Amino acid sequence: MGMTIVEKIIAAHCGRDAVSPGEIVMAGVDIALGNDITAPIAIEEFRKAGAREVFDRERVVLVADHFTPNRDIEAAEQCRLIREFARAQGIVHHYDVGRAGIEHALLPERGIVVPGDLVIGADSHTCTYGALGAFATGMGSTDLAAAMATGTVWLRVPATVRFIYRGAPGRWAGGKDLILHTIGRIGVDGALYRAMEFAGETIGRLAMADRFTMCNMAIEAGGKCGIIAPDETTLAYVRPRASRPPRLFAGDPDAAVERVIELDVSGLEPQVAFPSSPGNVRSVREAGEVPIDQVVIGSCTNGWIEDLRIAAGILAGRKVHAGVRLIVIPATQAVYARAVREGLVETFVDAEGAVSTPTCGPCLGGHMGVLAEGERALATTNRNFRGRMGHAGSEVYLSGPAVAAASAVAGRICSPDDL
């Protein structure tokens, strides 16, 4: 019996010929990641355990992106602790204000994660890197501490659910709409502790930004990871960036998967997740008249240059509705710089939107766009649970960049075709 791509990657990192779903294994880690919220806890546990040095100063990555630039004194202290630890340990990949970006866009952009890697991060959206053909999953800060010290992690090998997509989605639909449609179909626990393997002709045509978005939100379906087998699109992205040689894995034709779910997405319309679940999905045509107070375009889900181009193309020559606050957040400094060079930032400013330095800020209700009671936001972020972006009495809707930009102009949730 063959193995899936996830099983092959895990087996390779255990030094074994094969693993099977349900097995508990100890695996070597290629990258261990922490941010300004989770890394301080991991550092404390690292020290409590008596560890003196990280297992590899090039394989531990620390990114200040959630409450940075520092939103308050507590955030400043958190980041100071990370800086001091990074200096003391000689951490090669420590990224702070001005050099950082949203972690799950920054690591692929810098070539820190490559195909075939096993990555653990103290952040649930670490599964983003599955778009590169890596096994990547989120864990707690204590697990991160152990990985920083030993370079290993224990795992229960997940079973695989394969999603096969066929057909060409509609004009304004992209990776965000595909994954929202999928979560709407299976529910937020529909892939609980499963590897979500995305395949099919539709996936083969997707750009990397859309692939990152899909794998990023595997966790919103309860998945252990999302993954796409590497192809020429992957390699074209990786070759100019990779800091290490990639390892290309592919599942065997006779590999056992738990389920195969086929989705015909021909003509798929843009999707919108209504409060307060990423699984509460309907098409934008079914959204009705939903007035909004704020639009956020960015995050580790849709802050790529491709997303900003889509949004700017819709906003060009238009103004944001008088009752709406538009906040645009490029995912990394490099994306920000490119958006400046391409005139996208000027378009956003001319439309009367606010453009921020890279930060996770509003996505988790941290800063740069916190909602008051009764306010509604439409965001290209990945979660819309109650209180996610601010007051427990606020509401968050999720969409892709096209619907977000159009809605900022209209003052209500709508399709770009409605403008």
To which residue do tokens 């181009």 refer? Answer: 309
Whether the CB-CB separation of 79 and 36 falls below 8 Å is answered with yes
Q: Do domains 5-262 and 272-418 have the same CATH topology?
A: yes
In tens, the pLDDT along 283-303 reads 999 999 999 999 999 999 999
Instruction: Kindly state the tokens that stand for 118.
Output: 């096993």
In tens, the pLDDT along 299-323 reads 999 999 999 999 999 999 999 999 9
- At residue 279, the pLDDT reads 97
Mean of pLDDT values over 86-95 = 98
Mean of pLDDT values over 78-94 = 98
Mean of pLDDT values over 15-37 = 97
Fold of 272-418: Aconitase; domain 3 (3.30.499)
Contacts of 189 by beta carbon, 8 Å cutoff, 6+ apart: 221, 222
For the chain, give the percent of residues with pLDDT over 90.
100
- At residue 291, the pLDDT reads 98
The full length of the chain comes to: 419
Q: Backbone phi, then psi, for 392, in 5-degree steps? A: -65, -20
- At residue 418, the pLDDT reads 95
Mean of pLDDT values over 7-30 = 98
To which residue do tokens 């079973």 refer? Answer: 159
**Residue (of 208, 362, 183) closest to 278 by Cα position:** 183
The CA angle 395-397-399, to the nearest 5 degrees, is: 165
**Residue (of 91, 2, 1, 112) closest to 39 by Cα position:** 91
- At residue 173, the pLDDT reads 98
Contacts of 49 by beta carbon, 8 Å cutoff, 6+ apart: 145, 146, 149
Strands (E), 44-177: 60-63, 93-95, 118-121, 135-138, 152-156, 160-166
Q: Backbone phi, then psi, for 138, in 5-degree steps? A: -90, 150
Question: How far is residue 287 from each of residues 93, 269, 274, 370, measured CA to CA in Å?
Answer: 43, 12, 9, 24
Q: Mean pLDDT in the chain? A: 97
Q: Backbone phi, then psi, for 352, in 5-degree steps? A: 75, 40
Q: Does the bond joining 276 to the residue before it have cis omega, within 30 degrees of 0? A: yes
- At residue 1, the pLDDT reads 81
Domain segments of the chain: what residues?
5-262, 272-418
In tens, the pLDDT along 126-169 reads 999 999 999 999 999 999 999 999 999 999 999 999 999 999 99
Q: Which residues pair with 138 in a beta bridge?
A: 121
In tens, the pLDDT along 216-270 reads 999 999 999 999 999 999 999 999 999 899 999 999 999 999 999 999 999 999 9
Reply yes or no on domain 5-262 having CATH 3.30.499.10: yes
- At residue 401, the pLDDT reads 98
Q: Please give the span between the terminal C-alpha atoms of the chain, in angstroms, as a whole number.
A: 54
- CB neighbour class for 61 (10 Å; exposed up to 12, middle 13-18, buried from 19): buried
